[in-house]
Structure 1
Amino acid sequence: MTLWRIRATVADRPGFLSVLTASLALRGVNILTVQVHTTEAGAVDDFLVDAPAELTADDLVAAVERGRGRNCWVARSEAQGLADQPTRALGLASRLVRDPDGLGESLRSLLNADSVTWRPVVSGPAGPGHGAGTMRLPDPYGGSFEVLRTAPSFTPAEYARAQALVDLAGAVARQAADRVTLVLPDGAELTVRPAVPDDLPAVLSMQHRCTARSLLRRYPGRGAAPPERLRRLLSPAHGVTLLALTGGGDGQPERVVAMANLAPEGVLAELGLLVEDGWQRRGLGAALLRRLVGYGARAGYAALLAHTPADNVAVLRILDRLYQPGTVDRDGELLTVTVPLHERRAGASSAAETSAAAEV
C-alpha cells in the first residue's frame, strides 16, 4: 500500500468531481477518503489515496490534470492519515481539554503546519485571517498564533476548524480561571472569578466605599474611574479582570471587595489593583497579583508593568519581595515597576511566590 495525499481545485459544477475520480481510477488509484473545501476559486478536493507502487508524484499530477483538476499538490502520506478528519479533530480537542497550554501544538497537528509561532499582537493589518501559506489566530491568553505551511494552501474550511479549536481553548481557559475559593492568612474566605459586564453596579459600589487615598493609588491623578472605563475593564478585548467577592451564603448577596486587571500593551501588559480599605493588609492583593502574573506568564508577555504612586508602599513591597522587579522608573511621584516574565514562561516558580501573601 502506497498512501498519497492529493489536493486539487476543481470547477464547482455537476460532474467535474466524477471526471477527476475517473481519471485517477484509470491509473489504478483507490480513493480512501475525500474532503471538499468550498472556496471562491472553486471546490478544493483533498484526497487520501492508495496508489500502485510504480506511480510517482508526477504521474498523479498528470492524472489529476487530465481529470480537469488544477493547482495540484501531491505528497506521500503515512498510515495515520487513514484516520478521518473529524476523528483527528476530536482527538486534538480531547487533548486540549486536558492540556490547555498545548494549543500551539494542537494547531500544528490539525493543520499539518510547518511551524506555529506565538506573536504578541493580534490586531492591526496582520489581524486574524488566512492567506495561501499563512494563518493568524487569536490566542485566548492574549496575542496570536502565526501558522505557516509551504503547501498546500490554506482553505476557509481549515481556518474555521482552527478557529473552533481556539474557541475551545478559550472556553477551557475561562473554565479553569472560573470561580475559586481563596482562603486568606486570617482564615477569611472569598470567591475569585473573572469579571463580566453585569458586575458594573457591584464594582461601582465597591469604588464608592473606597477612600480617596485608595482610589488615587489605583488611578493616579484622577481618583475614581468613570463608569465607561470600568465597563471596558470588566470586558477587556484581551487580558483579564479578576474580582474578589465576599458573602453569598445564608441568602446574603455577594459583594465585590477587590478588582485586579491585566491589560495588554504590545509585548507588555499593565497590572492594576484596587482593594477595598477594610480588606487591605490581609493578603488579598498579593493573592490577586500572583494570579495575574501567572496569567501573563502563560500568555507569553515579555514583562508586566505596574504604575503606582511612590507612597504605595504595600504594593511596592509585594512586587519587590515576590517578583524582584527588573527596573523601577520614576516620573515625579509616579513609579513604573517592570516585572520580567521570561523565566516564568519557561515554567520557573520561585519559592517566594509560594510564600504567605503580603500586606495589601
Structure 2
Amino acid sequence: MNQTQVGLPLVRRAGEPDADELARMLTGLTDLSRYFRFQSAIGTPPRTAVLLRMLCPAGAAFVATRSGTIVGHAMWAWAPGESTAELAAVIAEDEQRRGLGIRMLSTAAADAVASGATRFLFVVSAANDRSIRMIRRRWPDATVERDGTLLTFVTPAHLPDRPKERTDVVDEEVGCLEGGEMAASGELRPVDDVVPAL
C-alpha cells in the first residue's frame, strides 16, 4: 500500500460539481476497465453526457474520495421492469481489489431499496470473470440471461453478504448517507472482488 492509500476513502452522494474529478478518474482507467464498465467508447476525456448520466441518474450516485480525489463511483438507476434498479460501479485502478467496490455497491443498493426497489439488475461483460464471480457470490439467487457478449443478472433486492434485508439494516445504511460524508470502514478487507461492469 502506498502512502496515498493510508486513510480510508470517504463515500458521499455525487453531483454535477464532481464532473471534472470523475473525468480524471475515468481517464486514468485501463482500456479493459473502461470496457468492462461501459462496453463502449466514452471518449478521453469522457464526454460530458456520460459524466452527467453517471452523476445525475434516474436514481442516485455516490463517489468515494481520498484526500479530495475521487477513487470510486457507484450508482443505481430505475430500469425497465417493476421496481427494478440497475446497479453499477467503477473503481480507480489503484483501489481495485480492496473491497471498495462492494462497499460502494452496498451503499447504492441500500439507497435503491429505501427508494422502493424490489429487484436489482446487473449487465456484465461475459469476459468479466471477477464481476461475474462477485455477483454469484454476493447475490446467489440471481438469474442470468445472455445477449451476445453481455450477461444480464436479475436478483431480488437485498444488500450483498446478507440473505435478506431487515428494515433496520437498510435504515442504518441509508441513515449514514443522510449525514453527508462517511468513512467507508469495511472497504479494505482482503477480497478478490471488482464491481459489476455496467
Q: Give the TM-score range, shorter chain.
A: 0.7 to 0.9
Q: Deviation per CA, 1:87-131, whole angstroms, max 9, x where unpaired?
A: xxxxxxxxxxxxxxxxxxxxxxxxxxxxxxxxxxxxxxxxxxxxx
Q: C-alpha separation between the residues in 2 aligned to 1:348 and 1:331?
A: 37
The whole-number CA distance in structure 2 between the counterparts of 1:317 and 1:348 is: 28
Cα distance in 2 for partners of 1:345, 1:296 equals 12
Match runs of 1:157-196 below 5 Å? 188-196=7-15
- Does residue 231 (structure 1) correspond to residue 52 (structure 2)? The answer is yes
Question: Is contact 2:14-2:61 (8 Å) kept?
Answer: yes
Higher relative contact order (CA 8 A, sep 6+): 2
| Counterpart in the other structure of 1:214 | 33
Which ranges of structure 1 fall in alignment gaps of 5 or more residues?
1-185, 248-253
Q: Give a deviation string over 1:200-247, Cα, whole Å, max 9, x none.
A: 0001111111111000011013355521121132123x4110101111
* 1:242 aligned partner, one-letter code: F
The residue type equivalent to 2:70 in the other structure is V
1:245 aligns with 2:78: no
The secondary structure found in structure 1 opposite 2:117 is coil
Q: Which AA in structure 1 matches 2:134?
A: I
Indicate conservation of the 8 Å contact 1:297/1:344, yes or no. Answer: no
Alignment root-mean-square deviation, CA: 2.5
- Note the alpha carbon deviations across 1:8-35, whole angstroms, 9 max, x for none: xxxxxxxxxxxxxxxxxxxxxxxxxxxx
Consecutive aligned runs of 4 or more in structure 1 exceeding 3 Å deviation: 342-349, 354-358
Letter in 1 for 2:79: E
The residue type equivalent to 1:243 in the other structure is: V
Q: Normalization by structure 1: what TM-score?
A: 0.42
**TM-score of the pair, normalised by structure 2:** 0.73
Question: How far, CA to CA, are the matches of 2:63 and 2:141 in structure 1?
Answer: 25
Note if contact 2:99-2:190 (Cα within 8 Å) is conserved in structure 1: yes
CA distance in 2, matches of 1:281, 1:345: 25
Structure 1 residue aligned with 2:105: 289
- Please, which runs of 5 or more residues in structure 2 have no aligned partner? 170-185
